[in-house]
Every structure is written in C-alpha cells, then in structure tokens.
Structure 1
Amino acid sequence: MSVRPLPSSTPAAQGVDATRVLAFLDALDAAPDIEPHSLMILRHGHLVASGWWAPYTPERLHLLYSLSKSFTSTAAGFAVAEGLIRLDDPVISYFPEFEADITDPRSRAMLVRHVAAMASGHEEETYERARALDRDELVRGFLLLPPERDPGTVFAYNQPATYTLGAIVQRVTGQSLTDYLRPRLLDPVGAGDVAWLRGRAGRELGFSGLHATTDVVARLGQLYLNGGVWDGERLLAPEWVAEATREHIPTGAGVPEEDRQDWDQGYGFQFWQSRHGYRGDGAYGQFCLVLPEHDAVIAITAATGDMQALLDLAWEHLLPAFTDGPLPDGQDADATLRERLTRLALPPAPGKPAPPERAEEWSAAEFTPAGGVCAAQRTLGSVAVASGADGWTVTLTEDGNRLELSLGDGGWSVAEAPLPTAVSGGWTDPDTLTLDVAFLETPHHLLLTCSLPDHTFTARWATEPLHGAPLRSLRAPRPSG
C-alpha cells in the first residue's frame, strides 16, 4: 500500500535545535543498554528529523508490543462515536453467552470504561490466571477472576483488560481491529500496511502484537496532537482524544512525588501520562511521545531493558531542542544532522567471515546445546555449520523447522526468507563462532556461540520475546492464502 509522505521541513525552520538532536544521538551511542532502531521527530506538523539504524529500514514493520494498546483505544474511540459501544455499559453485556458463568458482583459491575483505563478492580496482572481459567477464551477467563477491589478504584496494568476492550470492538463491528481501523484511521492519515497477531479465539490481540512502521506510530501521535483532525478533516472525536489522554486512574501508589518516574504519572484510556505530555509505549522501548506543550511528536523503536533510561535521554536532550521560533542560524547544524541521520547503523558483532584455522572441521560441523539445554530457546535443538560456493551458512533447527542463516563479510547480512533476519559476527578464534541474529520485524536478537572442541552451542536473548513463540514466528503475520 502506498504511503503519502508526511510534510517535511528543516529543524531550524520549525524551531528545533539540531545540535540538541545530535546530542541525543550521541547519548544513544554512549548508552550500553539501549539499542536504537528508529527515530522520527515531528514539530508543528512537519517531519524535521528521521533515521533508522541499519540493518533496520523505514519500510520495515516492527513489533510494537504494548504500544498496540493505543491503537486499540483509538478503535474503541471510533466505535463509541458510531454508537456501537457505550463506556458505561457493563462489560458482561457484550458477552451474553458468559452471563450464567459470571456471578461475582464486581466482575458483573465492571464497565467498558474500567477496562479501557486499566481499572478493572484487579490489584495485579491477570493474564496467566485468566488463561488458566479458560485457555481458549481469554475474555471468559478474565471475567471469571473476581476483582479484589471495586472496579474504578485501583490501577493494575492488565493485558486481559485491553484484550477485552479489543474483543468488544471486534464483536460489535464484526471486523478485526486492523480492518476496522483501515478506513477510519490508517488510510485517512496515509499510513501503510500493518499486521496484528491473533490469539487462540481468532481475534487480534489488542494488548500487543501490532507490527507497524515507525511512520505509522508518528502519524497516530500527530492525529492525537491535532485533537483528532488530519489535514483539516475530523477523524476522531475531540471528546475521545481528551478522555483517552487524561488521567483516569492514578499510578505509582506509594511513590513519593519527588521520586516519581514516567510510569507513576497516571493512566488514561490505553495511554500513559508522562512527566512531559503523554505517550503510548511498548516493551523494550517502542514509544509514541506526544508533547502538546511543544507541538511535537517523537516516535521511537528500540531494544532496551531500561525504558526509563531512554525516556530520560529524550527529556534531557530533545525537550530543550524545541524553541519558540525559527532558528535563522541553524542551517549548518541542520546539515550536520541530516548527514548523521543517513549513516546511522548498529555495530556488527566482531568475528572473521571464515574460520582462521581448521576450516574442514568447521564445515559440516553440528552442535548440540551446552549441558543439554538451550537456555534462551528451549526448542532450539541443534546448530549446523557448513561452507559452500556462496560462503558459510549456519542452520538452526527448532522442532524440526530449519532456519538457514548466511554469514556476510563482516557487516550485517540481511535475508527476507524464510523470515526477515540480519546476521553479523563470525569466528572470534579458531575454536569459537559467535553470531548476533536480529529478527528484523521485532526488537529481538539471539546471541549464539558455537564451540568446536565440544561441539556445543549456547544461545541467549539480548531482549527476550514476550509472546513465547518459536523462532519462525518472530515476524509480522502474513495474510493467509
């Protein structure tokens, strides 16, 4: 699907100090626990800076994890405006087939607005407990789990709450979230393709699983910043924008005001309040930062276990970049930033592209998990190394499925089949082969080491997939048929 480019401008023309953006890039480079994948900055409705760290690219879909929730919220906003959902309806009213099963008065009192605001009355995450009660129908399992408190009185980040909101939208519309959003959101803002993982009941997950480009994230943020208007056309009701992005339920209970971080500022309808503005966010650093006080949107994808550190760098370096007017002397800094953004790249793992010694022993060598267990990927049973006319390949076998990886010449070797990957690394000594395997439509890397003396391998995740899926599923879902 073709994508209409966002309006673009120079940073200086829109009052953005490019030297501050460059300092942010420097800080990311210096942060050992943050791996940036992409950055887009919009100011006054114009794209002023964008870059992707190779091997990631602008057109690549990226797993957004819980940033998906903000898209589910948007779908609910459309359904409310169309009279298909009412926020003060009991959740159970949308699932009459469960009516006889759900007897707890708090579960029966739970309203649509409560699941939208993570205020179901449960005191903690319910996903595993709800799934244990009904593995095939998460809504039923969730409603069968009595809340400890009255709905609307306590915050708990709770995947089944969002799943239930998404299930309601899909039930009343008769469409998937993606299909429902396409003519209402995605096409009108000029967004490209997206793809959403489905659960056992066949529904799109809602709480996670959306794969989209950074551009789509930026457009969602700009729509909310505009109060629901795009190119002069009203798409989303202003009442929903206001409700979704204000605090409905406090977070960070018991945290002193002076110690509060970005997750302690309150929660809206599937949007977090921030120390600055509000945001959608997803595990490992997928962010849509909306800054009304600066008329700016920042979209980021990344891989980090320290999301607060990434936000801290944004607040430290990017907030001061937004000035009150154009910067007439900013052309040189703009040019420096523009050039820097064209050469962003993740450093490849070290290693030689061929074994320095004993090539015959390495060719056709097979490796089993060290200690009989692969800690990172329990189903990864073997690794095979081979040489051929096109160079060296490494084949991972998982539950009988093979993933063949081609080694490059010292950089990142990108392949689209059988799933999008980039591989770097090689032989660090005659006995050791070390690879970094990036699954390009996710935030995840598998770090693999093969030892020739004992023919074993070890594997660990740089960031561990949260959906517990096999390697072959670490990609955006493709249309069936």
Structure 2
Amino acid sequence: MDHGTSLQLSTAEAQGISSAAVQSFIDAVEERRLGVQSLILMRNGRIVAEGWWRPYAEQLSHSMYSVSKSFTATAIGLAVSEGRLSVNDAVLSFFPSYVTPEIKANMEALQVRHLLAMSTGHEKDTFPLLTREPEGDWVRIFLSTPITYEPGTHFLYNTGASFMLSAILQSLTGQTVLEYLGPRLFQPLGIENAAWESNRDGINLGGTGLSIKTLDLAKLGQLFLQRGVWNGKRVVPEEWVEEASSIHTPNGDDPNDDWQQGYGYQMWRCRHNAYRADGAFGQFSVIMPDQNAVLALTSGTSDMHAILDEVWKHILPGMHAEPLPDNAEAANKLTKRLADLALPLPEVLPAAPETAARIEKRTIRLEANELRIEEVSLEFGQEESVFTALDNKGVRHTIRCGRTDWISGTSTLWYRRDSSTEMAVAAHGGWANEHTFVMTWQYVETPFCHVVTFDFGSDEIDVSIKIVPFWQDHDEHIKGHLV
C-alpha cells in the first residue's frame, strides 16, 4: 500500500516496540471478543503494524461517529487562524436573524469555546432533540433549548454543540466543514473520498457522520503528534494543537478511567498523558506524545473502555526509548498474524439438513418488522446460500451468503426505516443445527452487523434480527409462515 513519503513502513523493533507486545494486544482483543476491525500503529512517523479483520479491508471507508468532532474542531481552529472568528465570540453573533428576547436571555453567555469544550451548560445532549425533527431548523432548536448551568462550569457530552460548530463554520464561509477542510486538511494529508452526512439544510452533522479510511484516522493522529506539521509544511497552527489537546473541562477524577481525564476541544484526554479522537463503538485515534506514537483503531464494540485497557496493558509496556535488536522471527510472526486477521465465522453444519429441502425456494411471509420485509425465500448451495426478500415498497433484495467464507455485495436492508442507500455488506450463512439457519450480514463500512436467525423447528417460523453492537440491546423477534 502506498502510504506517501511521510508514512513509511518499519519493523516494530526498529522503532523500539516489541512485535510480541503488538501480537499480545491482538490476542487479547480477540480472546475478549472486543470487536476490533482494523488497526494501524505508528511510531516515530512510521507504520510498524497495520491490519484489517476480514471482511474489513484497507480500501474501505468506515463510519467514524464522534471522531467527526475532532475534524470539526480542527476546521474551527483553521478558521480562527484565518481571522474569521475567535473562540471567545458569542454563538448568537453568527445567527442574528434567530435572536429573540427569549433566545438572547437563554444564550447570550454562550461562546464558541463552550461548544468546543462541551461546557454549554445544557442538562442533556441536545442532538436527540435535533434528530427528532429531521425537517426542522436545527439551529433554531438548539438556540431555543434551555441552558441550565452557567456556560463553562459544567461538563456534558453534547453532540448538538458539535453540530453548532459546523453551522457556525458554514455561516462564515458558505462551505460545509467537508468542503472547507478539503484544500486545508484533506488534500495535504492525502485523505481522499471522505464523506460527511448532512441535515436537511445541507449542514454537515459536525459531531458525527464522517466516513474515512483507517489510514486517514491514523493521519489525523500523526498530524497532531507532529504539532500540526505534515511533510515539513505547517497545516494546522501549533497553538491550536496545544489548545485542542489541553484540558478545558474537568470530567471526573477516577485515575483509571480514560473518560475522566479531562476534555479538550472535541478531544478526550487519556491516561498516560495521551489524548484521543474518539467515536462510538470503538473508533479511536490515540495520540501518545511521550512515546511519539499513534494508534488508530476501528471497532464494533459495546465496551470501548476494555479496548483502551488492553492498549495500556500490552502495547504501552512494549514501547522502549531505543530501538530493539532485530528479531526476524517475531517480526515475521507479527506480519503473518496481521495478514491473517479475520472476524470469527459462526460454526455451521457441513451440509444442509433435511429441513432445507422442505423450505428451499418457498415463500416465507413475515409479520411487520423493522427491516420492512414482507416475504423472503432461501436457496441453499454447497458453498453459498441466497437470501431473497420483498420489502413493503415492492422492491426485491438479494444477499448471497458464503458458507465457509464471506461473500461481498451491497444491500439497502438496514434498521433505519427510511434508508435507501446501498451499503457494502459481506455475508455468511449456514445451518447452526437441524432446524436453525443463521445469516450474518457484516456492514463493512460501519461497525455493525445484522444476525438474522430462522428457526424452522415448528409450524410457525421464528425469525430473530439482532443488531451487533448497538446503543442498547436490539433483538427483534418476528413470526413467519410458509405459503
């Protein structure tokens, strides 16, 4: 893979890292089933380890969730350096047409720095209020939401605040954050094909919605580690790197909790004097200044704390101040381990049971469900199965499922009821026992998969659709019958 002149490859030992330490981290996250989907470890500006758990792959973009916040804050920092605004500017100064006596009384003390530092004074995250009104005016909704605490005095993780940073930048420049960062950040770093979700008014979501590759995630961390310099050229002001990575809002006092080490400008502080861009379900760019290292991870986990615990337990102790002696055996072992990474496939029967002949190609009618499917059918081959579904709009969907490996394709079947976007999916399917057929649809540009289970053990078919991971347990049970 061509990483560009600033991202050269190296053995771990040459950069003072034990290959065995990296491998022990991989072993630990796999043993604990923490759902890590890719990793890139860099030290001294060189990549010492990179790998993707198949069916994830290096060329695929990945949903970044709240890592988006760090990019939005960087855009604000660049706008500050261009003299377009100050972090001490009042938020209302960017939206004069919205100001009413009530909004002024509520919002007049709120400044840009409070948005950046998650200290707006709100009692609850405002983002659910915004998304609940997809056709509404999100700026007006935010400005109308009561502030409970004096801005600057209370930490609350508030994705609505990040959206407002995006709205402010767009009000100043006439460009989305994505457009604004194009020539200023993405092009200098060689970040291509970035995508960012927007609301009805064309404003990038700011606090979420960015999709980039794992390498791009590592590049953000390396840029900050290099204090804003890339390929010998200043990209982000050093003063902004210092500001963004410093504590602006205390958020707890547990020395063993990476979510209680203080909050910067849309960056979390970590243990061990590190800091990070951080997204839901385990998207991380961990910057370790004391070790001159960066670790980028994408994941699909409900236990983000555990992943960072394993970083500090395995990778950090494996870093040494000086290069280590060459260890070709350990380096080759790690290289092979990284090349062979794969998500575990469910165990399935070696051949289809008698049940398959009874239900193959027959229509199965389902009761109402979140996937909007009205009827389905299944075909069973030796090495693959074919799932066909008819949705409530009369659209037919087909997903091919490998028995011993993943089969790649696309699908619009998704838990979002209004989704019509083709999503990359890798699918596996097989018989778990004589009457149970299980499919795993891994949406490889997201953290998620759908586990779809058909139980043909009685006259009435039981269908389970489980989303893994999710913000809360999501396991929908549906009844079906053969027609």
TM-score using structure 2 length: 0.89
Given candidates 370, 386, 397, the residue that maps to 1:393 is: 386
Given candidates 459, 462, 465, the residue that maps to 2:468 is: 462
Does the residue aligned with 1:40 lie in a helix, a strand or coil? strand
C-alpha separation in 2, matches of 1:448 and 1:47: 38
Displacement of 1:175 in angstroms is 1.3
Does the residue aligned with 1:289 lie in a helix, a strand or coil? strand
AA at the equivalent of 2:29:
L
Structure 1 partner of 2:403 = 409
Which residues in structure 2 correspond to 1:67-78 (within 5 Å)? Answer: 67-78=67-78
Structure 1 partner of 2:436 = 432
C-alpha separation in 1, matches of 2:335 and 2:383: 36
1:216-273 residue CA offsets vs partner (Å, 9 max, x unmatched): 0000000000000011100101111111110101112xx5x45x50111111110001
Structure 2 partner of 1:183 = 183
Displacement of 1:392 in angstroms is 2.8
C-alpha separation in 2, matches of 1:415 and 1:387: 18
- Residue pair 1:288, 1:298 contacting (<8 A) in 2 also: yes
Across the aligned residues of Structure 1 and Structure 2, the Cα RMSD in angstroms comes to 2.3
Displacement of 1:391 in angstroms is 5.3
Structure 1 partner of 2:65 = 65
Which residues in structure 2 correspond to 1:67-466 (within 5 Å)? Answer: 67-100=67-100, 102-130=102-130, 136-252=136-252, 255=253, 257-258=254-255, 260-276=256-272, 277-352=274-349, 355-368=352-365, 372=367, 374=369, 377=370, 379-386=372-379, 392-400=385-393, 401-416=395-410, 418-452=422-456, 453=458, 454-464=460-470
C-alpha separation in 1, matches of 2:471 and 2:297: 19
Cα 1:388–1:50 shift into 2, 3 Å = closer
Cα 1:20–1:110 shift into 2, 3 Å = same
Number of residue pairs the alignment of both structures matches: 457
Cα 1:107–1:49 shift into 2, 3 Å = same
Cα 1:380–1:239 shift into 2, 3 Å = farther
Moved more, 407-416 or 117-126: 407-416
Cα 1:465–1:243 shift into 2, 3 Å = same
Moved more, 425-434 or 222-231: 425-434
Cα 1:399–1:198 shift into 2, 3 Å = farther
- Residue pair 2:452, 2:464 contacting (<8 A) in 1 also: yes
Structure 1 partner of 2:479 = none
C-alpha separation in 1, matches of 2:133 and 2:463: 38
Structure 2 partner of 1:479 = none
Displacement of 1:120 in angstroms is 0.6
Does the residue aligned with 2:259 lie in a helix, a strand or coil? helix
- Residue pair 1:61, 1:441 contacting (<8 A) in 2 also: yes
Cα 1:209–1:459 shift into 2, 3 Å = same
TM-score using structure 1 length: 0.90
Displacement of 1:51 in angstroms is 0.4
- Residue pair 1:7, 1:46 contacting (<8 A) in 2 also: yes
Q: Percent identity over the alignment?
A: 37
- Residue pair 2:352, 2:380 contacting (<8 A) in 1 also: no
Cα 1:46–1:343 shift into 2, 3 Å = same
Displacement of 1:419 in angstroms is 2.8
